[in-house]
Amino acid sequence: MYTPAVIINYEIMMRNLKEIQDLCNERGVKLRPHFKAHKTPYFADIQRQLGAIGFTTAKLAEAELLVNEGFRDILIAYPIVTLENVKRLKEISKKTKVSTIIDSLEGARVLSQGFGNQSLDVLIKIDTGLNRCGIKPNSNEVLNFVKDILKLKNLKIKGLLTHGGHSYKGKNIEEIKEIAEAEGKTLLELKEFLESKGIIIDEISVGSTPTLRYLLEIPKITEVRPGNYIFNDYTQVSLNTTTIENCALTVRSTVISRGIGKFIIDAGSKTLGLDKGTHGSEIIKGFGKILEYPDAEITALSEEHGIVKSSILPEIGEKITIIPNHSCVVMNLAPFVYLEKEGKFLLLENKGRGLNY
Amino acid sequence: MYTPAVIINYEIMMRNLKEIQDLCNERGVKLRPHFKAHKTPYFADIQRQLGAIGFTTAKLAEAELLVNEGFRDILIAYPIVTLENVKRLKEISKKTKVSTIIDSLEGARVLSQGFGNQSLDVLIKIDTGLNRCGIKPNSNEVLNFVKDILKLKNLKIKGLLTHGGHSYKGKNIEEIKEIAEAEGKTLLELKEFLESKGIIIDEISVGSTPTLRYLLEIPKITEVRPGNYIFNDYTQVSLNTTTIENCALTVRSTVISRGIGKFIIDAGSKTLGLDKGTHGSEIIKGFGKILEYPDAEITALSEEHGIVKSSILPEIGEKITIIPNHSCVVMNLAPFVYLEKEGKFLLLENKGRGLNY
């Protein structure tokens, strides 16, 4: 094994996956994991076997990979707003059930035009506070938008969808819990309002790994779409939504040089990414946690070097283990990963990395 | 062409490459471009045809790709400190001339041991201020280190090497020029000192794109190793070492959503990277420059979304052009790029992305 190397601990990963699937089963909520967290059909297959009802993707290229690998029922939770992309969606729809989200009339019109005589399931994307995509949850605004969509005969409104990604900026568990409750409450109030106007809303689809457990306590949520829960990372640990013991993905790295009060490792930004949180939040000091040197701090990353400030210096050539800040970006950077299972290392190609179009 | 897409303008790239090759030829300095900037044999081949005498890499995996693609004379400008990596270097040495750097006796001993009866060219890595790898340029310290290396009979000291990467933190051209001059002067003084002790130093290898032009004005520099100069990027523009017109790499992106005073694009951190400079410097506001909306600012990146603050809002579906902050990381993220040549777009696979081990 050459370093830097991305290692997935099978046992921890399975524990993470089963825990969330079991929770979903208990609550009668569908689990539709976000593929972007691992981008690897091998892991998607495990999720499917455990009970995932389908997959979420951001980009069409991810959905194309999944469908070509035999996966079914794909939600592209991303605005598809150009005719060339609607054609790709239509192509996918020949092989499996698909759905997507809308948050603009312009986008919806392009979808409707591209699908012609064929109908398409869509979810209305609501912005519950991340302040990225989505319609603001003003009842009348949403109603007017929905009425406009209903005029586009081939778009079938399947439900409401949100992503409470602002939970990644939560200062403590209480704040994250509040964000989760607001996320659920906002969608359920909108559902009630729309249904009072005769518009049936079947699906209430929510999800982010930090808010997941709290969302599952809210009745009438029908679907969750976490991604990161498969591996976790130092962002989740910093948010207190999990502990180090539940981090399934680590980066093995080698000490290549030393100086006064510092050492240099062979993992840089091209391996670890520069994330200090998620969605642009900067909640973490340093660029990952070194398990063997818990007091050390990875203070800077060049492309291929990590600079570590530390009072204790390891030997040159020594191997260290890093919990990265954001496991999703580490997966996207790695050409392959090592699956650590029963003391053996299995090399897994990372088929979906870079499929960001 | 689906977005986000990385586009290389052939004409600008050729102008950049020729300008630096011509400058090197005029000064009689060898040009050994850093492969990490593009990681694509297609571009390396152009550099070779124009006169590059060989290539620089950071990681062995990059060198392995180059050698397998028929490139010769590779400098792995990275400390190789483990026996498993020395074996890889030895394997490469069967096919071509190789050299590497040393900055620790521990590392040098592993190299020497691994090479056995075979000799290996090494350059002493000097830290001229980046404060990453390298021996501090204290004459007696360097002399003692060199004496220890000479005892390892199979390591042949070819010269001194540095990377003035701290120039990326330069506040203006004057500071960058000073860093370049110090970079050259430090190595040349060490050379003179070592030669006064009977140790011949043939090679003085320096290089970073910002300091390049100033380094080439210093006599007795024998080799430069720039990488970024092939494409440039918004970091170089911000440092005033080039202008927008010389940026050969752009990212084409689509507007997917709009809000009050903002719009959302389909290029996120998995396309643009989170760099706000190089080597951990944060000299730039925002995550790339949008050519069509020069007053807009990309204020945050999620994995697949860019959030742009702007008083003027483009249409949903509109295409925009981004000069990324750091073109080297954009290349490492892209599975393929489009070469724009005489009005046509040629798809080029990016063979070396992810080869960071």
Does A204 lie in the same domain as A283?
Answer: no
Number of domains in chain B: 2
- Which of residues 90 through 109 in chain B touch A, CB cutoff 8 A? 103-104, 106-107
* Tokens 């642009």 -> residue: A280
pLDDT at residue A131, rounded to an integer: 86
Residues A294 and A323 sit within 8 Å (Cβ to Cβ): no
Residues A347 and A338 sit within 8 Å (Cβ to Cβ): yes
In one-letter notation, the amino acid at residue A151 is K
Q: Is residue B235 assigned to a domain?
A: no
Does B117 lie in the same domain as B24?
Answer: yes
* Tokens 């992810």 -> residue: B354
Q: How far apart are the first and last CA of chain A?
A: 31
B286: how many CB neighbours lie within 10 A of its CB?
18
A192: how many CB neighbours lie within 10 A of its CB?
12
Residues B246 and B260 sit within 8 Å (Cβ to Cβ): no
Q: Is residue A278 assigned to a domain?
A: yes
Poorest-confidence range of A29-38, B128-137, B138-147?
B128-137
Q: Distance between CA atoms of B60 and B80, rounded to whole angstroms?
A: 9
Distances (CA, A) of B123 to A254, A357, B98, B209: 21, 42, 11, 20
Residues of A in contact with B333 (CB under 8 A): 332-333, 354, 356
Q: Of B174, B205, B230, which residue constitutes the final position of a domain?
A: B230
Which DSSP symbol is given to A315? P
As beta bridge partners, residue A204 has A160
Residues B323 and B287 sit within 8 Å (Cβ to Cβ): no
What φ, ψ does residue B203 adopt, rounded to 5°?
-105, 135
CA A60 to chain centre: 15
pLDDT over 80 at B273, yes or no: yes
Q: Is residue A312 assigned to a domain?
A: yes
Q: Is residue A357 assigned to a domain?
A: no
**Helix, strand, or coil here: B126?**
strand
**Tokens coding B254:** 């689509």
- CATH code of B309's domain: 2.40.37.20
- Contact flag B104-A258 (C-beta cutoff 8 Å): yes
pLDDT at residue A326, rounded to an integer: 97
Residues A313 and A320 sit within 8 Å (Cβ to Cβ): no
Does A210 lie in the same domain as A114?
Answer: yes
Nearest by CB to B274, which of A274, A333, A355? Answer: A274
Q: Which domain holds residue B225?
A: 11-230
Does B256 lie in the same domain as B155?
Answer: no
Q: Is residue B239 assigned to a domain?
A: no
What φ, ψ does residue B127 adopt, rounded to 5°?
-90, 105
Does A270 lie in the same domain as A343?
Answer: yes
What φ, ψ does residue B263 adopt, rounded to 5°?
-135, 165
Please name which of A159, A150, A129 lies closest in space to residue A220, comparing C-alpha atoms: A159
Q: Which chain A residue's Cα is nearest to B352?
A: A335
Does A183 lie in the same domain as A40?
Answer: yes
Residues of A in contact with B329 (CB under 8 A): 269-270, 303
For B183-236, what is each residue's pLDDT tens digit? Answer: 999 999 999 999 999 999 999 999 889 999 999 999 999 999 999 999 999 999
Q: Distance between CA atoms of A126 and A162, rounded to whole angstroms?
A: 5
pLDDT over 80 at B282, yes or no: no
Q: Distance between CA atoms of B43 and B59, rounded to whole angstroms?
A: 18
Where helices occur in chain B by DSSP H, the ranges are 10-27, 41-50, 60-68, 83-93, 105-115, 139-151, 173-196, 212-215, 234-238, 269-272, 327-333
Q: Does A273 touch chain B (CB under 8 A)?
A: yes
Does A256 lie in the same domain as A196?
Answer: no
Which DSSP symbol is given to A296? -
SS3 content of chain A, % helix, strand, coil (to 5): 35, 25, 40
pLDDT over 90 at B279, yes or no: no
Q: How far apart are the first and last CA of chain B?
A: 31
User: CA neighbours within 13 Å on the CB side: how many for B252?
Assistant: 17
Does A143 lie in the same domain as A36?
Answer: yes
- Contact flag A82-B254 (C-beta cutoff 8 Å): yes
pLDDT at residue A207, rounded to an integer: 86
pLDDT at residue B222, rounded to an integer: 97
pLDDT at residue A33, rounded to an integer: 98
- Contact flag B271-A356 (C-beta cutoff 8 Å): yes
E strand or H helix at A180? helix A173-196
Q: Of B230, B260, B285, which residue constitutes the final position of a domain?
A: B230
- CATH code of B175's domain: 3.20.20.10
**Tokens coding A71:** 């996966």
Nearest by CB to B328, which of A81, A303, A316? Answer: A303
E strand or H helix at A75? strand A74-79
Please name which of A236, A212, A292 lies closest in space to residue A23, comparing C-alpha atoms: A212
**Tokens coding B211:** 């300091």
pLDDT category of residue B35 using cuts at 50, 70 and 90: very high
Does A196 lie in the same domain as A327?
Answer: no
Does A338 lie in the same domain as A275?
Answer: yes
Does A105 lie in the same domain as A196?
Answer: yes
Q: Is residue A238 assigned to a domain?
A: no
Q: Distance between CA atoms of A156 and B206, rounded to whole angstroms?
A: 62
Residues of B in contact with A101 (CB under 8 A): none
Please compute Rg for chain B using Cα positions: 21
pLDDT at residue A172, rounded to an integer: 87
pLDDT along chain A (357 residues), means of 10: 98 98 97 98 98 98 98 98 98 98 97 97 94 92 97 96 88 89 94 97 94 93 97 95 97 96 98 88 90 97 97 97 98 98 96 96
Cβ pairs A/B, distance under 8 A: 180
E strand or H helix at A212? helix A212-215
User: CA neighbours within 13 Å on the CB side: how many for B157?
Assistant: 26
Q: Of B177, B198, B230, which residue constitutes the final position of a domain?
A: B230
Residues of A in contact with B354 (CB under 8 A): 270, 333-335, 353
Does B310 lie in the same domain as B219?
Answer: no
- Residues B151-155 have a mean pLDDT of 95
- Contact flag B302-A132 (C-beta cutoff 8 Å): yes
For B68-116, what is each residue's pLDDT tens digit? Answer: 999 999 999 999 999 999 999 999 999 999 999 999 999 999 999 999 9
Q: Is residue A191 assigned to a domain?
A: yes
- Contact flag A106-B317 (C-beta cutoff 8 Å): yes
Q: Distance between CA atoms of B252 and B209, rounded to whole angstroms?
A: 25
Residues A45 and A72 sit within 8 Å (Cβ to Cβ): no
- Residues B227-247 have a mean pLDDT of 96
Of residues A297 and B278, more confidence is placed in A297
- Residues B330-342 have a mean pLDDT of 97
Q: Distance between CA atoms of A159 and B213, rounded to whole angstroms?
A: 59
Residues B143 and B197 sit within 8 Å (Cβ to Cβ): yes
Mean pLDDT score of chain B: 96
Q: Does A288 touch chain B (CB under 8 A)?
A: no
Best of B251, B257, B319, B351 to mutate (most A CBs within 10 Å, chain A): B257
ipTM: 0.96
Distances (CA, A) of B113 to B102, B110, B117, B144, B152: 14, 5, 9, 20, 9
Please name which of B307, B294, B278, B271 lies closest in space to residue A280, comparing C-alpha atoms: B307
Residues of A in contact with B305 (CB under 8 A): 132-133
pLDDT at residue A278, rounded to an integer: 76
Q: Output the DSSP codes for B209-276.
A: TTTHHHHTTSTT--EE---GGGT--HHHHHTTSS-GGG--EEEEEEEEEEETTEEEES--HHHH-S-S
pLDDT at residue A171, rounded to an integer: 83
Q: Is residue A165 assigned to a domain?
A: yes
| Rama region for B306: left / alpha / beta (φ>0; ψ in -120 to 50; rest) | beta
Best of A104, A228, A262, A305 to mutate (most B CBs within 10 Å, chain B): A305
**Helix, strand, or coil here: A69?**
coil
pLDDT category of residue B247 using cuts at 50, 70 and 90: very high
